[in-house]
Amino acid sequence: MQIGLLGKANVGKSTFFSAATETPVPSGNFPFTTIEPNIGVAYVKADCACKHFDIKHDNELCVNGTRFIPVKLIDVAGLVPGAHEGKGLGNQFLDDARQAEVLIHVVDIAGTTDIQGQPVPPGTHNPLEDVVFVQDEFDQWFADILKREWDKITREIDQKRAKLTDGIAKRFSGLGIKDFQVQEILQRLGFMAKNPKEWEDVDIETFVKELRKSTKPMIIAANKADLCQDLDILKKISDIVIPCSAETELLLRKASKAGIVNYSSGDEGFTVVDGKEIPLPQQKALELVKSVFSKIPSTGIQKILNTAVFDSLKFIVVYPVEDETKLTNKDGIILPDTKLIPQDSTAKDLASLIHADIAKGFLHAIDCKTKQRISGDQKLKNGDVIKIVSTLSHG
């Protein structure tokens, strides 16, 4: 699972990354602070299966019945207009982002940076321009990939060496795009019956825009929302948009780690640890944090991550175990692991994800909640605890 963190320079991507992963990275008030991509581990949150069974278990990724599930987060170089033509760090940016399954576009919703990422007085830049420009850069990138190969695709089709779906999917295979995704868009737009030689530029642009939306879903992280005079601007954004304050999340995580406050990512507030004496500068910082929570319900960081995985990608959480009665692995650890899998995945899909050998020798699976045996084509549900029975072991 890889989530791409996008946006123009200097909108708080690196702060978002640090807050989400607790990994220190360079940040600064100028473009291209991030040159090489920063890769770290963030966590989405879900109810742990221990709640269903009403059991206690010792797992650092389960806190009071909430399971923290790791995902890879990649913060790539800042984007500038013309990136698809190689301007700025454009080629590297797009290359770094190509394998992301879902994209979080961090936008300075308070309008404190211009289109190039240079600081300007708050409210003097229209953040809606940033939303459009990043989407346009991706669409242009997709369009360029297809346009430069279009003549070759039409020749392959003429010579019966390829079908339209296969010809297009082949050109996008480096972005992790599959045949069925291409076919679904072609059918939805009514392009399957259209002769590829009759496609015009507008047809290619319409197709790639839908392909990008479908295969690289984007969530708008409306950062610096606490500095925004009027959050009504969020209503003008058609994508999923969530207000956030990455700086506030980072501050609270540091304060929590230092034992100053009680706070877990996603909470709608914090409390000061009983009996803790706090120096005046930190008191003032926490007062500012309270003012942020008066404008937005939470820092937004956890909500954005969860929305990316569970709402945009529609992934579910399952718990593979080796002992269906004790809910343990071979070392006796209770509910040791979680897997994020696409909705409608089957028991056989889960087996493949665990290990190719287990899938090869798949016999059946056991639903540990119902104690029922299930077949390989049985679709799994969110929160399922599953034992795979196989003739082969992965050692």
The CATH number given to whatever domain includes residue 371 is 3.10.20.30
Answer yes or no: are the C-beta atoms of 192 and 186 closer than 8 Å. Answer: yes
Task: Give the count of domains, the chain.
Answer: 3
CB burial string 40-75: b at 16+ within 10 A, e below: bebbbbbebbbeeeeeeeebeebeeeebbbebbbbb
Do both 18 and 99 map to the same domain?
A: yes
pLDDT for the residue 75: 82
pLDDT in the model for residue 176: 82
In this structure, the answer to whether residues 117 and 232 fall within a common structural domain is: yes
Inside any domain, residue 24:
yes
Residues 150 and 200 in one domain: yes
Which of 248, 277, 307 lies at the terminal end of a domain, its last residue?
307
Pairing state between β 240-243 and 261-262: unpaired
* Residue at a domain's end among 307, 325, 353: 307
> Quick check: helix, strand or coil at residue 175?
helix
Q: Note whether residue 130 is domain-resident.
A: no
Domain boundary among 237, 272, 307: 307
Structural domain that includes position 174: 140-212
* CATH number for the domain harbouring residue 278: 3.40.50.300
Q: Is the pTM of this model over 0.85?
A: yes
What is the Cβ-side half-sphere exposure of residue 282, based on CA atoms within 13 angstroms? 14
In this predicted structure, what is the pLDDT of residue 90?
46
Say what the pLDDT of residue 80 is.
Answer: 58
What are the per-10-residue average pLDDT scores of the chain (395 residues)?
85 91 54 56 95 93 94 76 54 67 93 87 90 86 89 87 87 86 94 89 93 92 90 89 96 92 93 88 90 93 97 96 94 95 95 92 96 95 96 68
Q: Are 44 and 294 in contact (CB under 8 A)?
A: no
176 and 226 share a domain?
Answer: no
Q: Is 129 part of any domain? A: no
* CATH classification of the domain holding 154: 1.10.8.470
Whether residues 116 and 233 fall in one domain: yes
pLDDT of residue 30: 36
Assigned domain for 178 exists: yes
What is the residue-wise DSSP string for 270-297?
Answer: -EEPTT----HHHHHHHHHHHHHHHHSS
